Amino acid sequence: MQISVQIAVQTEFDEQPNITEIARFERDGFDAGSLGLHLEEAKALPGRLQRSMIEAQAAEAIARMSVCLECGSRLTDKGHHRLADRSVFGRLSIESPRLYQCRCSGSGRKSVCPLAACLRERTSRRLSRW
Ligand SMILES: [Zn+2]
């Protein structure tokens, strides 16, 4: 028997949910050694779920922030880098675009990194609670 653990992510931009398999288990028979999750499988599952959730959230945020709020134009891609963030499941690296600001803003060729800005805001909010 094959058992697949999948997450279904549906953003405001998708017509259909995006299904991602985060784990697959194979079991034969019905005995004490094959019932349910093994300890190593159970330990790995939350980290895979965390990675898939964050990747989906980052993809949605990038899609939303890649469009000028003023005129609706698609922002031009200047390049990519990786952001690292810590969670209770360990370090995570996220592919993050750098985007040129829209010409309608009159800011010349300045660029922004929307995901980095969001994570800085989150960190600032956390710190302000202390
Ligand atoms: Zn614009």
**Measured distance CA(56)–CA(18) in Å, rounded:** 9
Tens of pLDDT, residues 54-104 = 899 999 999 999 999 999 999 999 999 888 877 788 788 888 999 999 999
Each residue of 80-92: pLDDT tens digit?
988 887 778 878 8
Rounded mean pLDDT, 32-42: 93
Span from the CA of 19 to the centroid of ligand 1 (angstroms)? 33
The model's pTM: 0.80
Cβ atoms of 74 and 103 within 8 Å: the answer is: no
Q: Tell me, what's the pLDDT at 92?
A: 81
For the residues 45-50, what does the mean pLDDT come to?
Answer: 92
Count other Cβ atoms within 10 Å, centred on residue 34.
13
Residues 6+ apart with CB under 8 A from 36: none
Distance 21 CA to ligand 1 centre (A): 38
Q: How far is the CA of 106 from the centre of ligand 1 (A)?
A: 9
